[in-house]
Amino acid sequence: MINTQLFKNFNYEKIQSITAILLGTLLAFAQAPEKMSYQAVIRNAAGQLVQNQSIGIKVSILQNSETGAVVYSERLTGTTNANGLVSLAIDSGTVLSGTFNTINWSAGNYYLKTETDPSGGIHLNDES
């Protein structure tokens, strides 16, 4: 037999209130990311995979449009795997302009522009 007294004393409203408070507290402490993960499959001009090779990528974060003002720019280097995949963390490279952790992500739309140099990054322009 099921003890019906147990269910009569169970206060669903208290559980809902506690859950709402805990969820609100967690959301209040949400912060902008310290780093942003980035992955890409790298191909050369002929469309062939760039495998097991050091590459350079210049990353720029543009505000309001794909041709908007650069609010952050950096140069990253990484090594592709056998499938041409490179995995990088934006805000872990050489900063060219701006400060990643001061970007106001709620101030509009942002666009990610990448420029890749399959020869290791020595040909990437430092200008934003």
Give 40's pLDDT tier (boundaries 50, 70, 90). very high
Q: What is the mean pLDDT of the chain?
A: 81
Q: Does the pTM of the predicted model rise above 0.85?
A: no
**15 pLDDT above the threshold of 90:** no
Give 36's pLDDT tier (boundaries 50, 70, 90). confident
Q: What are phi and psi of 25, to 5 degrees?
A: -65, -45
pLDDT tens readout for residues 86-124: 999 999 999 999 999 889 888 889 999 999 888 776 555
